[in-house]
Amino acid sequence: MNILFVIISLFLLLTSSTVSASDFNFDTGLALKSDLADKATITSMHTYNDRVIAVGVHGIILTSNDMGLTWIQAEQVPFTNTLTDVQCVSDSQCWAVGHDLTILHSVDGGKNWVIQYNDIDFDAPFLSIHMIDYLNGITVGAFGTSMTTNDGGENWLPTVVTDDAYEPHLNSVYSSYKMKSENGINLMFVAGEIGQVHISNDQGKNWNMVDTEYFGSLWGGISVDQNRKLLLGMAGKILYLKFNDDTLNEFSLDTLFAGIKNSLTDIKRLNNGKYIISGNGGVIAILDLENETTETCIRGDRLSNTSVIEISDDKYLLSGEKGFRIHSMRECRSNFEDKNSISKDMWMKSEFQYEEWVPYDWQ
């Protein structure tokens, strides 16, 4: 069984039991409505300007205008299953995806939603969506499923990211303003099972695959510059991908280790140039490429984190099991080093340990 479904299943089992049965809109087809919706399992967060939008189990969609201090639940969502990803391209236009190959759309900033596409007979989820603008976008998911739109979602049509007979799950799709094609278009990436990374230089029309020869799942990544990428994997794996030139025909690969074996779920670039990574089992790590160090905190709550957003210096918004929480790396270190503290926070700092670079040619 793919670890992604194991993780989602665990989240469902661990979702806060404080939600009352009366909160479920039985037989209406509408999402759960509850004052405790922000305590349920949240699977993804997205920021547009200063607004945060988040999705989770039972069709829950929440927005915050104060970086997570307070949350407002969407008024009407015609979906009752788990949502997995969300993105806004303007103050009004937003999309969310989830199980039953469902795509939702909002034209009022996430207050009300309609179904643009779903397939209730296909018992698997879309896992990630990336809208280039309000017309063009792509969503990917389980068993190699992928669909695109060029009319704002009026029509979603099947496309092929991978023709691998194994039908690997496609876990994350995103583009990079730091890595561009020869004609200046932002490159688009898909991270998936069996270490596969797919690259498109024409906004998702055609794809090439980078076979990293890593056999675990990759959950996502981020571009460092025109030639370097970081990719997140199972068991604490961080793949450091370095292309040898702008043609992206040859690359070298290294594996970084954050000192833990937890799967890593999200990565963001911080204002200070470092990178913050969230993970299962309470993991939060800061990756410093310049000084080649990793600072890792395992939070005392041990709650799995699905995504992370920087609020300010050393203040981060986390989402995942039991909703949202605010995190500080300095507080975690202080709790760990204070022998009189009853906190169960754990903290460590380590230097990179590089393996030998291995060249590949994927053409």
Q: What is the pLDDT of residues 16-75, one digit of tens each?
A: 444 554 466 666 789 989 999 999 999 999 999 989 999 999 999 999 999 999 999 999
C-alpha count within 13 angstroms, C-beta hemisphere, residue 125: 24
pLDDT in tens, 97-128: 999 999 999 999 999 999 999 998 888 999 99
Give the C-alpha separation, 286 to 107, whole Å.
36
What pLDDT shows up at residue 13? 45
What pLDDT shows up at residue 183? 78
Cα-Cα end-to-end distance for the chain: 31
What pLDDT shows up at residue 14? 45
Give the C-alpha separation, 21 to 1, whole Å.
30
pLDDT in tens, 145-155: 999 999 999 99
Residues 115/117/120/122 CA torsion (nearest 10 deg): -150
Neighbours of 203 (CB within 10 A): 20
The structure tokens listed for 100 are 């039953």
Give the C-alpha separation, 334 to 328, whole Å.
10
Low-confidence ranges of the chain (pLDDT < 70): 1-27, 245-249, 353-363
Rg of the chain, C-alpha, whole Å? 20
